Chain A
Amino acid sequence: MNKELEFQNIYQQNYPRVIGLCLGYVKGNEFLAKDLAQEVFLKVFQNLPHFKQQSKVSTWIYRITVNTCLLELRKKKYVDLKTDVENEETSNPIETENRFEKMYKCIDSLSTENRSIILLELEEVPQNEIAEIIGISHAAIRTRIHRIKDQLSNCVKHERF
């Protein structure tokens, strides 16, 4: 299969995961998330010939996504972003917006590493894959996720911003 066709398949299959994760890094701001996702797929395209199939394609793409988002966010300093959320399934849009805003702000208040871990957990990435993406042991990830879950739940429940 030629490189462009292979990339096209990878893009179609993985775009929802990538954009979903990017949205988490930019407090749900769709415009910035799309910008980040484009940067991620550019790197995927450039690195495609070097992909050695030692891990799953999705794990490989998640690694690129996490690293790209971290680097680009620091370069461009996306600070004090306005939270931009949309949800079709709930009847009260203001209530939904407030809930998402709180959730995004709580995620944003976590450390770089914890934020990446919990975003991957929220995207339902298996814990052994999260360990591979972050670069720590599976056991350490398990303990860490447990702690971050409590931290995040408490924040969403009690914190005011």
Chain B
Amino acid sequence: MSDFNNIKQQWAQRQIPLPQEKDINNIIEKSKTIKKKQITGQIVLVTTVLVLIWFFFYVSAYQNSRAFLGLGIMIGSLLLRIGIEFLSMTKKTYIPEDQDMKSYILKIIRYYKQRKFIHFLVTPLLFLSYIFGFWLLLPVFKVELSAGFYTYILVSSTVIFVALAILIIFQIRKELSLLKEFILGT
């Protein structure tokens, strides 16, 4: 008997776990939960947009040109980022897993290459414009708010910006390593 036939024979003798009835229900439930989460995500997204627009009018930002510009840039870059992320995630969801392996891997690589463009160009630009919008608002805050609250906003925002930058870098590194793995593996 050839070596490979030997291997094949041994392979056939492996102990294979049996299907469990409860796993079927778990899978169906999990699928329903995922669908619910997707709908919740869409509701949260629409609500965020509505709240930001409401906030813009609530603080009457349009009456002060500096506040209008600052808040406008912040809200605009945030909305743009959320929109891009949402579209990107939707795009990935629609890469069908039931196509042949070669086509699937090519599509996944193309997807992560597009993500690279978002990570290296779009995200830093939007992040910088967000900070720029905030910087434009600072003189307005200084006039309108107490000195203590102004300092609080300044310090807490700096901490948030640094934490966000670290989080973004971490996420980018994770996705880039995934892309590298795919390119190397093919």
Residues of B within 8 Å of A, CB-based: how many? 38
On B, residues with C-beta under 8 Å from A are 2-4, 7-8, 10-11, 13-19, 23-24, 26-28, 30-31, 34, 96-105, 108, 178, 181-182, 185-186
Interface assignment of A92: CB less than 8 Å from any CB of chain B? no
Provide 26 A-B residue pairs closer than 8 Å at the C-beta atoms, listed in order of the A residue: A7-B27, A11-B24, A16-B16, A16-B18, A30-B17, A33-B17, A43-B98, A45-B31, A47-B96, A47-B98, A50-B96, A64-B97, A66-B101, A70-B101, A71-B97, A71-B108, A74-B181, A87-B13, A87-B14, A99-B10, A103-B11, A111-B185, A122-B7, A134-B100, A136-B102, A156-B3
Residue of A20, A85, A154 ringed by the most chain B CB atoms within 10 A = A20
On A, residues with C-beta under 8 Å from B are 4, 7-8, 11-12, 15-16, 19-20, 23, 28, 30, 33-34, 38, 41-43, 45-47, 50-51, 60, 63-64, 66-68, 70-71, 74-75, 77, 85-90, 99-100, 103, 111-113, 116, 122, 132-136, 149-150, 152-154, 156-157
Q: With A153-B4, A156-B7 as known contacts, state yes or no: A45 contacts B27, CB within 8 Å.
A: yes
Instruction: Name the residue on A nearest B102 (C-beta).
Output: A135
What residues on B are CB-neighbors of A46 within 8 Å? 31, 34
Q: Assess whether A135 is in contact with B7, with CB atoms less than 8 Å apart.
A: no
